[in-house]
Structure 1
Amino acid sequence: MAESPVSAAPAPAFGARQLLYVGTGSLGVMFMPMWSQWLRTSYPQLEVRTVITRSAEQFVTRTALTVFSGSEILVDAWPDEPRPKALHVELAQWPDAVVIQPASFHFVSRLALGMADTPVLLALQCTQAAVAVAPALPPGGHDSPAYRRHIEALAERPNVVVIPPTTGRSVTTGRMEASVAAPLSEVLARTEQLRLQMLAQSGREER
């Protein structure tokens, strides 16, 4: 994972206007600032709201993300101060599309089980937007029976697509036995396929 996957990444057609971009506690989240800059450059008309989990802060800082994204970074935690609008409702209703990249084993499990103990998880359980999940797993994670069940459960949701990870080198063992999240460019392409499919099924047209 030492080499950035962002270099020369293609920019697929992407028609969403408002994207919720979520990063979780996996080592690959360290590339999120560079992906954020790639989004700004590749899709200048796209509005992006970025959220990271508490565990993601072990690998990436809000300062770096703010600099590269050019916008406020939210943390997936209930606000200490009162807000005029409920954060989870905003995050559920605002986006045309949602991307979780990378999605840790823990986050995938909580999402699949219907957990709603953070603003993002509650929003994802309620949103009608297209949601793309790009898992990143430790050695052995891909073959875990629990992970397999969670992926099957997510696949049953009509507004969710799971993009399989690719084989990568574990920084712990040094062997090619980890599962690395798919590049954001690939995730966006799959998100757009799902979004257009959902529009066609609902009989709606692009605004």
Structure 2
Amino acid sequence: MTRPEPPPEIADQLAGQRFLVIGTGAPAVSALPAGVLELEALTGGGPIRIALTRQSLRFLTRTTLTAVTGRKAFVDEWGTDEPLNPDHVDIAQWATVILVYPATLHFLSKLALGQCDTPVMLALQCTTAPIVLAPSLPPGGFESAAYRDHRQRLESRPHIRIAEPRAGYSMRTGADNVGAPCPFGELLPLVTALLAERGQR
């Protein structure tokens, strides 16, 4: 897989950051390996950790991700004995930037409501690191009261940004009525904006 050439102005701002990339249980998580390669190109192969929710493994296996990126992912759940799995304190203290791609409505809801039922979710509730989310919504999800309410809650937090989903094709309905996540690269200008805002505080 060919790695994209990084825009210099973005690469300069991302240099030295430690990225946690989280994949959740939507079909679009299959694009995550390519996104990680793009991020590697921008950071010059800098520190990146990858977390996958249990639900994401329906669409992307850790074996596939490692084969494409050369990196291993940990599964976001309590009670595992795998040495790769960090705890919530390690996650919150290590990551300086967090990207969620894609972010299901379920994941967005839990984050907005302050739930802490997995190591990653607890870390996200406790960190002040920039968090950028790329929603992946089912038919009717974008217009739903639940999404609008949760989005408003999340955007009230100064360190969180949400990348606008766009209309995508649903195999279930045969219409362009899903909220598809934006291309992975569109998350990065939001990251640099958050980092710039932090530097001005």
- Offset at 1:45? 3.9
**2:3–2:41 CA contact under 8 A, matched in 1:** no
Whether 1:52 and 2:49 are equivalent positions in the alignment is no
Whether 1:13 and 2:23 are equivalent positions in the alignment is no
* Structure 2: distance between partners of 1:9 and 1:111: 33
Which residue number corresponds to residue 152 of structure 1? Answer: 152
Give deviations 1:117-137, integer Å, cap 9, x for gaps: 001100000011100011010
Q: TM-score, normalised by structure 1?
A: 0.87
* Structure 2: distance between partners of 1:82 and 1:34: 25
Q: Which one is further off, 149-158 or 13-22?
A: 13-22
How much identity, in percent, do the aligned residues show?
Answer: 36
* Structure 1: distance between partners of 2:133 and 2:91: 16
**1:9–1:185 CA contact under 8 A, matched in 2:** no
- Offset at 1:82? 8.6
Which residue number corresponds to residue 205 of structure 1? Answer: none
Unaligned runs of 5+ in 1: 1-5, 202-207
Unaligned runs of 5+ in 2: none
Greater percentage in helix: 2
**1:36–1:65 CA contact under 8 A, matched in 2:** no
82 and 99 in structure 1: CA distance in 2 versus 1, 3 angstrom threshold: closer
Tell me, what secondary structure is at the counterpart of 1:164? Answer: coil
4+ residue runs of structure 1 moved beyond 4 angstroms?
Answer: 6-12
Tell me, what secondary structure is at the counterpart of 2:170? Answer: coil
Q: Which one is further off, 68-77 or 160-169?
A: 68-77
176 and 34 in structure 1: CA distance in 2 versus 1, 3 angstrom threshold: same
* Structure 2: distance between partners of 1:93 and 1:151: 25
How do residues 166-205 of structure 1 correspond to structure 2 at under 5 angstroms?
166-201=166-201
Whether 1:121 and 2:121 are equivalent positions in the alignment is yes
Tell me, what secondary structure is at the counterpart of 2:175? Answer: coil
**2:10–2:42 CA contact under 8 A, matched in 1:** no
- Offset at 1:9? 8.7
Which residue number corresponds to residue 107 of structure 1? Answer: 107
Matched AA of 2:131: V
- Offset at 1:189? 1.1
* Structure 1: distance between partners of 2:45 and 2:71: 14
Matched AA of 1:75: V
139 and 162 in structure 1: CA distance in 2 versus 1, 3 angstrom threshold: same
Matched AA of 2:154: L
Give deviations 1:111-157, integer Å, cap 9, x for gaps: 00000000110000001110001101011000100110000000110
**1:40–1:69 CA contact under 8 A, matched in 2:** no
Matched AA of 1:56: S
Matched AA of 1:13: I
- Offset at 1:59? 0.4
- Offset at 1:7? 9.5
